[in-house]
Amino acid sequence: MPYNIESATLGAVSLALDAASLRHQAISSNIANAGTPGYRPVAVSFEEHLGALRAALSSRGTVDASLLAASSARVEREPEKAGGTEEASRVAVDEQVAQLSQNAVHYQALLRALNKQYSILSIAINEGKR
Amino acid sequence: MDYRSAFQISASGMTVEKLRVDVTAVNLANVHSTKGADGKLFRPMRVVSHESVGFAATMRHMGFSAALPGAAVASVESVDAPPRMVQDPGNPQADEKGFVAYPGINQVNEMVTLMTAVRAYEANVIAMNVAKTLAVKALEIGGNS
Amino acid sequence: MSIEAVGYLAPLAATPGVDAAAVAGTGVAGNATAPSGPGFGELLARGLDQVNRDLVSSQTDVQSLALGDAQNLHHVMMRLEEAKLAFQLAVQVRSRLLEAYQEIMRMQV
């Protein structure tokens, strides 16, 4: 989605926030279905598909705003285990809760960075007066 | 953050685990009851949960590429466990051979189910609290000038 | 008196960064003699360059955080906050310089 001011940074942060919120929903689905027999856990893959963006970042110091539109987070389900029993679900609740906490910290870090970006812009616009 | 769906998912998980706790409590209370409400031997119950399919279809419709599994739904069904026979000829409910039939409830299994259900309930509560924190923080974007 | 003040300024002005802009901004109102170190305009330009570089590098940091690459969350946050403060300082310097200029223009000849 295009942002008029600072489209590269705000676009990248917005994309990362989308991925983080999708990841939260996936993890809470896993936790809610922990007791469902035969349930296959889901995960969100996002950082792995960003090779082109990372290359642009390291070579030029900024991501390409047009490449951002092409990336998105994907939900993936664990593959069916061949010959596995359908008895217990394969969710490790403790690991899911740890991932939930890590994702929450990442989300809040992104929000804090976003707020600071906006406040820098507003200093420039307001000439230092609040 | 789509906070509504996150809350719904966690709330449904909590409902399922609470149902599991209730059913386990009923089973444990009836360990020594010989007759159920319908006059026959009490049959232990069990909670069977599965993902709700309709929710996944809704998520796909909203534009997510793959189907995010949704909430969990559960139903209660009776278990066909063989009754526990206890030799007690003096009991008025004994059959012609002197055995009294008690429901085949395995107390150890029921206790383990109870404990895992409580832990799963706590995990769902944690997930819901985290979702609430994230949504509140997102509301504060641009707040401190 | 003013020549000594400017002479004292020169070694301080040699350190790059925001300090130079701040010192130059506060000590220079109404100064008429040429300083022995780099010129005032150059000091200001260097300070602004540094602020710009800080801001651009903090943008890069935020982007790498978004792409999942940031190893040190605290470094990212600290650099972001420093860049913001440096920018605020530069804006304040600009406001004071403008005020000083307007004050001088208002003086009756």
Render each residue's pLDDT in chain B as its tens digit; 145 residues: 567 788 888 888 899 999 999 999 999 998 888 776 777 788 888 888 877 765 455 555 544 444 455 677 888 888 888 888 888 888 887 778 888 888 888 889 999 999 999 999 999 999 999 999 998 888 888 776 5
CA quadruple C15, C19, C25, C26: dihedral sign = negative
Average pLDDT of span A96-117: 91
Looking at the partner chain, which of C73, C80, C95 has a beta carbon nearest the beta carbon of A116?
Answer: C80
User: Tokens in use for B99?
Assistant: 């055995």
Neighbours of A70 (CB within 10 A): 10
Candidate from C56, C67, C76 with C-beta closest to A57: C67
Q: Strands (DSSP E) along B18-105, which ranges?
A: 45-51, 72-78, 84-87, 99-102
Strands A42-45 and B45-51: unpaired
Residue B19 lies in a domain: yes
Question: Which residue range(s) make up the domain with B52?
Answer: 3-139
Kindly determine whether residue B65 and residue A72, on different chains, have CB atoms separated by under 8 Å: yes
Q: Who wins on pLDDT, B57 or C107?
A: C107
In a domain, A1, yes or no: no
pLDDT of residue A86: 56
Per-domain residue ranges for chain C? 2-106
Provide the chain B residues 50-109 that lie in CB contact (below 8 A) with chain A.
50-51, 64-72
Tell me, yes or no, if the pTM score tops 0.95. no
Burial environment of residue C105 by CB neighbours within 10 A (0 to 12, 13 to 18, 19 or more): exposed
Specify if A2 maps to a domain: no
Residue B144 located in a structural domain = no
Domains contained in chain B, number: 1
Complex ipTM tops 0.90:
no
Residue A113 within a domain: yes
pLDDT of residue C22: 46
Q: Report yes or no on chains C and A touching (3+ CB pairs under 8 A).
A: yes
The answer to whether C71 faces chain A, any CB pair under 8 Å, is no
Those residues with Cβ within 8 angstroms of residue B140's Cβ, 6 or more apart along the chain or in another chain: A111, A115
Shortest Cα distance, chain B CAs vs residue A96, angstroms: 9
Q: What is the pLDDT of residue B128?
A: 92
Pair A45, A76: CB distance under 8 Å: yes
Q: Is B110 on the interface with A (CB under 8 A)?
A: no
Residue A130's SS3 state is coil
pLDDT at A21 over 50: yes
